[in-house]
Amino acid sequence: MYRIQCAEIWGGIRDLEQDVCSSGVRASLYSSACEGCKGGDIYYLSVCESDKLTRIAVADVLGHGEAVSEYSQFIYDALKLYMNEPVDAKVLTEVNRHALSRGLKAMTTAAIVSFYRSTSHLCFTYAGHYPVLVKRKRDHNWLDAMVKEPDDADRFDTNLPLAVKSNAVFVQENMPLAKGDRLFLYTDGIIEAPDHSDDLFGIDRLRDVLEDQANAPLHELRDSVLDSLIKHTGGDLRHDDVTFLAVEIL
């Protein structure tokens, strides 16, 4: 297992299957491009200089495969600039500014979560991305970590994908977490994986796998999700880039 140190950023856009940890979390990653060895999916973990904050991000650039890797690398590099920024929503605001400079070809959905060891709180925010799934240690159910729309949401463009609007507003929420609680971050390559009849894998099948493996070691949970995807598609994951990350609070 690779340990992420203080003031370190770990991640990328290349195919990878690996277990990692920080002082606050452990995680198990799977990421594969539908063609080539790098694609439009991004995975990112960092630890701040004071070792109080572990930030995790999963993002998905419009398109897939090596053809869009230029843009996914650009977004990943932009994320790296804000490792020590404490507010996730501010990170997305700044990365959105960078993405706008590349136009709609850089359109990206993203989910960012940050775990603060000192308070055992998780902060999270989204840019047009599927919600992170959360499971308490005492439960088997995986629930969406939802962001509440502000009362005046109709006045703003909230939580849009990156590179769409310069005035986009990203809303941040937080929740307490405890040792043993788990998170699951993923890109739409899981949900939209088709079988031979074009029946999509979907969120319900994903929840079924996660609940069946609710307390399994993270690498076994990861492998079970992958096995279920391969079984559903008949062994072919060439429909889209696929990235997911199972996380446990330490």
What's the rounded mean pLDDT across residues 68-88? Answer: 95
What's the rounded mean pLDDT across residues 71-89? Answer: 95
H and E: helices and strands count for the chain: 5, 13
- Beta strands across the sheet bearing 143-144: 2-3, 16-21, 25-32, 242-249, 182-186, 133-135, 143-144
| Radius of gyration of the CA atoms of the chain, in A | 17
Q: Measured between alpha carbons, how far is 238 from 166 in angstroms, rounded to an integer?
A: 33
Q: Is pTM beyond 0.85 here?
A: yes
pLDDT digits (tens, 9 = 90+) for 44-71: 999 999 999 999 999 999 998 888 999 9
Beta-carbon contacts of residue 138 (< 8 Å; ≥ 6 apart)? none
pLDDT at 7 over 70: yes
The answer to whether the CB of 236 falls within 8 A of the CB of 198 is no
Instruction: Place domain 2-249 in its CATH homologous superfamily.
Output: PPM-type phosphatase domain (3.60.40.10)
**In this predicted structure, what is the pLDDT of residue 155?**
61
Among 113, 97, 39, which Cα is nearest to 72's? 39
CB neighbourhood size of 155 (10 A): 9
Q: Measured between alpha carbons, how far is 249 from 21 in angstroms, rounded to an integer?
A: 10
Residue 160 identity (one-letter amino acid)? L
**In this predicted structure, what is the pLDDT of residue 152?**
61
pLDDT digits (tens, 9 = 90+) for 97-106: 999 999 999 9
**In this predicted structure, what is the pLDDT of residue 36?**
83
User: Does residue 2 come out as left (phi exceeding 0), alpha (psi in the -120 to 50 range) or beta?
Assistant: beta
